[in-house]
């Protein structure tokens, strides 16, 4: 709900007196209202929440955030099929929030002991 | 579940953690206000990477969780009416009202539609002039400006068959309510980054000064949260209580002036009930007099609906940081994401759901050793067999 996702402005047009843009969120393209950031330009990034651009973001941090959200499956939650999610059960037998959680990733993990040296105990 | 390789920059994460560990000399209790941050903290095990003296208390900043039961019941009632198209964000579908949810209303023939943006609901109203279209307007200061703009557009374009069921809430009065509670243990706050990207930081210095708590505006990514914690702990150790912005790439002191102006135009401040907590003065918005004819509560005469929480659900204590999710007797037994007693188990931003998803096995072993549960006679396995089948094992390691 409060997830706000960085997106890149592809195109801007005036629609019936409202400034609207097509915005790319790491491959997902959505219509976004620019009324709260009227001077945003094509090619710039902004934080977008429920179809509204709320604040500018620099390109590097926007890209990093998008990559992270992609890895965590958070874009799926924001732009995925809400009915499938609400149905509670999916093909993989996981609940919506379990999908959002991305299950538990594979592979080697650094655990707490690797991070915090003995000196901190 | 305490990994650091998921962090975008494990080296920086390690440095931040080292600094926090080196700074802390005594116990501190910090509250992260935002549910998105709670989710991130539990998912990444940030609370377990921090020094034992730093406790993170999970705050009430999950809009789905704090929407009062009676508002959910009003939504269900309106959505069940013939001729209505009821539009909502997806995360409200499974929130239990009295005896059912929006998903079930749809199954019983209600026209419930999920939209990405409130403007989508307005478009549906435009395309269906013979139907009443209602949008479920819940959320904090981040979500309120989009909803305000949508009602403003409806008015401007003369779309009369569009109305808003409003239950918006504001963060600063909630911080105040938490600080005024006699049971309050919070000594510092991580303020919600995206709320501040709209509202700016002007509302916080007064709170920081009055209650002598540092308030640090914090982002959502693991590194952002570590930096927020680091700055809060640093202030606490120095005896300071200032407002600090640890999320400057998205938050400016003035916020978004255009969004704030629209909030003032369309909404007015009102007392608001928070699910599980009760009424907090001046903590919400309702449509202002000028826009009252777009108020769904009035249009559908559902003001009279008044319902109570199930007694078994202790989400109110969880939302106020008085109880950790796994300390509730119903956690993982009577109450799971598949059959939630309260909203904190439904929403992915709810603390109960976050603990259920990421901590079950840890908590299970802790409970079996009698460490984690304050509930006498709590079951030894805090989750039903049906739900454990598809959950991969967690990397357990004892809480340090």
* Residue A47 contacts B where some CB pair is shorter than 8 Å: yes
**B312-358 tens-digit pLDDT:** 889 888 887 888 999 999 999 999 988 888 888 988 789 999 999 88
B151: DSSP letter: H
The structure tokens listed for B189 are 């706050």
What is the pLDDT at residue B99?
82
**By the CB < 8 Å criterion, does A61 face chain B?**
yes
Q: Give the three-state DSSP class for B384.
A: coil
| pLDDT on residue B32 | 96
* Nearest Cα residue to B67 out of B321, B260, B319: B319
Task: Kindly state the DSSP code that residue B143 receives in the 8-state scheme.
Answer: T
Cβ pair B85, B132 in contact under 8 A: yes
Task: List B316's β-bridge partners, or say none.
Answer: none
CA distance B209 to chain A (A): 28
Question: Residue B219 and residue B217: Cα distance in Å, rounded?
Answer: 7
- Nearest alpha-carbon partner for A40 in A6, A12, A82: A12
Chain A residues inside the 8 Å CB shell of B2: 111-112, 115
> Across the interface, do A101 and B357 touch by the CB < 8 Å criterion?
yes
- Cβ A1–B117 below 8 Å, yes or no? no
Which residues of chain B are under the pLDDT cut of 50? 1-2, 367-400
The answer to whether the CB of B116 falls within 8 A of the CB of A79 is yes
Q: Answer whether A111 touches B (CB < 8 Å).
A: yes
Q: Is A103 left (phi over 0), alpha (psi -120 to 50) or beta?
A: left
Choices 1.10.1510.10, 3.30.2350.10, 3.40.50.11750, 3.40.50.720: CATH for B10-63+171-245: 3.40.50.11750
Backbone angles phi, psi at A66, to 5 degrees: -60, -45
Domain with CATH 3.40.50.11750 in chain B: 10-63+171-245
The dihedrals phi and psi of B370, each to the nearest 5 degrees, come to 70, 30
Dump pLDDT digits (tens) for A59-106. 888 787 777 777 766 667 677 776 666 665 333 333 444 433 333 332
pLDDT value, residue B144 = 98
Fold of A5-72: SH3 type barrels. (2.30.30)
Question: How many other β-carbons are positioned within 10 Å of the β-carbon of residue B316?
Answer: 20
SS3 call for B300: coil
Q: A-chain residues within 8 Å CB-CB of B393?
A: 104
CB–CB of B266/B241 below 8 Å? no
Contact state of A101 with B391 under an 8 Å Cβ cutoff: no
The whole-number pLDDT of residue A92 equals: 33
Give the pair of three-digit tokens for residue B10.
Answer: 């494990």
pLDDT of residue B373: 37
Residue extents of the structural domains in chain A: 5-72
Nearest to B348 by CA among A2, A116, A16: A2
Closest-CA distance of chain A to residue B297, Å: 22
Q: Half-sphere exposure (CA, 13 Å, Cβ side) for B68?
A: 21
Least Cα separation, residue B51 to chain A (angstroms): 8
**At residue A110, does pLDDT exceed 50?**
no
The Cβ of residue B22 has, within 10 Å, a number of other Cβ atoms equal to 11
What are residue B330's phi and psi, to 5 degrees? -85, -10
What would be the CATH architecture of the domain defined by B64-170+256-300? Answer: 3-Layer(aba) Sandwich (3.40)
Residue contact A36–B145, C-beta within 8 A: yes
Distance between CA atoms of B33 and B189, rounded to whole angstroms? 7
Amino acid B320: pLDDT: 77
Start and end residues for every CATH 3.40.50.11740 domain found in chain B: 64-170+256-300
Task: Enter the tokens of residue B233.
Answer: 């702990």
Q: What is the pLDDT of residue B387?
A: 32
What pLDDT digit, counting tens, does each position of B275-315 carry?
878 899 999 999 999 999 999 999 999 988 877 777 788 98
Q: Where are the alpha helices (DSSP H) in chain B?
A: 10-23, 35-43, 46-49, 63-66, 69-80, 102-107, 118-127, 144-156, 171-180, 193-199, 204-211, 222-238, 257-266, 296-299, 315-319, 351-368, 385-388
Task: Look up the pTM and report it.
Answer: 0.83
Q: Which residues of B touch A47 (CB under 8 A)?
A: 194, 197, 250
Q: Compute the C-alpha angle B365/B371/B377, nearest 5°.
A: 90
């Amino acid at each position: 709900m409060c997830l706000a996702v960085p997106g890149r402005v592809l195109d801007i047009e005036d629609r019936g007196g409202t400034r609207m843009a097509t915005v790319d969120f790491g491959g997902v393209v959505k219509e976004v209202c620019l009324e709260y950031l009227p001077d945003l330009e094509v090619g710039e990034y902004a934080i977008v929440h429920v179809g509204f651009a709320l604040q500018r973001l620099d390109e590097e941090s926007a890209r990093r955030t998008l990559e992270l959200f992609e890895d965590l499956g958070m874009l799926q939650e924001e732009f995925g099929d809400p009915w499938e999610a609400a149905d509670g059960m999916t093909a993989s037998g996981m609940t919506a929030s379990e999908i959002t959680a991305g299950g538990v990733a594979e592979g080697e993990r650094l655990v707490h002991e690797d991070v915090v040296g003995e000196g901190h105990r | 579940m305490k990994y650091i390789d998921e962090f975008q920059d494990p080296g920086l994460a390690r440095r931040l953690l080292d600094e926090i560990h080196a700074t802390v000399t005594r116990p501190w209790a910090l509250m992260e206000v935002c549910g998105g941050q709670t989710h991130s903290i539990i998912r990444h095990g940030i609370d377990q990477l921090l020094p034992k003296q730093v406790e993170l208390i999970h705050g009430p900043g999950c809009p789905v969780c704090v929407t009062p039961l009676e508002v959910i019941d009003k939504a269900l009632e309106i959505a069940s009416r013939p001729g209505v198209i009821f539009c909502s964000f997806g995360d409200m579908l499974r929130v239990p009202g009295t005896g059912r949810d929006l998903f079930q209303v749809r199954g019983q023939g209600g026209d419930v539609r999920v939209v990405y943006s409130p403007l989508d609901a307005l478009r549906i109203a435009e395309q269906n002039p013979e139907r009443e279209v209602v949008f479920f307007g819940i959320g904090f200061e981040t979500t309120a400006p989009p909803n305000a703009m949508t009602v403003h557009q409806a008015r401007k374009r003369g779309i009369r068959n569009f109305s808003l069921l409003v239950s918006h809430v504001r963060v600063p009065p909630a911080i105040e309510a938490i600080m005024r509670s006699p049971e309050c243990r919070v000594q510092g706050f991580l303020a919600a980054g995206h709320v501040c990207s709209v509202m700016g930081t002007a509302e916080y210095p007064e709170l920081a000064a009055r209650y002598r708590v540092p308030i640090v505006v914090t982002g959502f990514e693991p590194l952002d949260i570590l930096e927020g914690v680091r700055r809060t702990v640093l202030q606490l150790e120095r005896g300071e209580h200032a407002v600090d912005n640890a999320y400057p790439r998205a938050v400016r002191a003035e916020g978004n002036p255009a969004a704030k102006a629209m909030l003032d135009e369309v909404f007015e401040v009102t007392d608001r009930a928070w699910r599980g907590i009760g009424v907090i003065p001046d903590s919400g918005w309702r449509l202002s007099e000028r826009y009252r004819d777009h108020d769904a509560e009035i249009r559908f005469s559902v003001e009279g609906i008044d319902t109570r929480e199930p007694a078994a659900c202790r989400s109110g204590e969880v939302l106020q940081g008085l109880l950790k999710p796994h300390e509730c007797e119903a956690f993982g037994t009577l109450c799971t994401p598949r059959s939630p007693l309260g909203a904190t188990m439904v929403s992915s931003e709810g603390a109960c759901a976050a603990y259920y998803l990421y901590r079950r096995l840890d908590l299970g072993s802790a409970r079996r050793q009698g460490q984690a549960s304050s509930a006498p006679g709590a079951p030894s396995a805090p989750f039903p067999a049906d739900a454990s089948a598809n959950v991969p094992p967690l990397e357990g390691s004892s809480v340090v």
